Amino acid sequence: MAEPMTLQIITPDEIAYTGEASFLVGKAIDGEFGILPNHAPMIVALDIAPLRLDAPDGQKHYLAVFGGFCEIEHNQVSIVTLDCQLPDSIDVDRAQRAKQRAEERLASKSPDIDVERAEHALARALLRLHVAKYV
């Protein structure tokens, strides 16, 4: 079996995650991608989407990644993102309220609504709710 990759996820406030992975699945702005050990060097622009991390012991972990970039080089994966949340750190009630607010704004069709901002808020809330299921 190949030696696992080292993964580090960095936000403006902290190193959100450091560990090893035998496989990663994420979503780039142009589609899904997977990374196995000894992957060719690559830089990927990330979408607002879950990141699945398969640990060397076989456990699967899910993280909420809010865009950014992923760099793969020499069995090291570095992700720089605005925010990264683990399932147990997500406030489900708050995410539900954010989802409801965003849906109400989008449904109102008011000219005062910033549609792009409301769509991004909805995407972030849906991501949190999706990843929170993996606690």
- pLDDT tens-place string over residues 103-135: 999 999 888 889 999 999 999 999 999 999 997
Task: For residues 8-20, give the mean pLDDT.
Answer: 96
Q: State the pLDDT at residue 135.
A: 76
Q: How far apart are CA 131 and CA 129, in angstroms?
A: 6
Q: State the pLDDT at residue 34.
A: 96
Q: How far apart are CA 36 and CA 32, in angstroms?
A: 14
Instruction: Please enumerate in sequence order all residues whose Cβ is within 8 A of that of 33, keeping only pairs 6 or more positions apart, or say none.
Output: 25, 26, 27, 44
Pairing between strand 76-80 and 5-10?
parallel
Band of pLDDT at residue 1, cut at 50, 70 and 90: low
Q: State the pLDDT at residue 125.
A: 97
Tell me the two tokens of residue 8. 């580090």
From residue 98, alpha-carbon distances to 5, 37, 124 in Å are 35, 37, 9
Question: Which pLDDT tens digit goes with each residue over 41-86?
Answer: 999 999 999 999 999 999 999 999 999 999 999 999 999 999 999 9
The model carries a pTM of 0.90
Instruction: Give me the residue label for tokens 């954010």.
Output: 98
Q: Is 49 left (phi over 0), alpha (psi -120 to 50) or beta?
A: beta
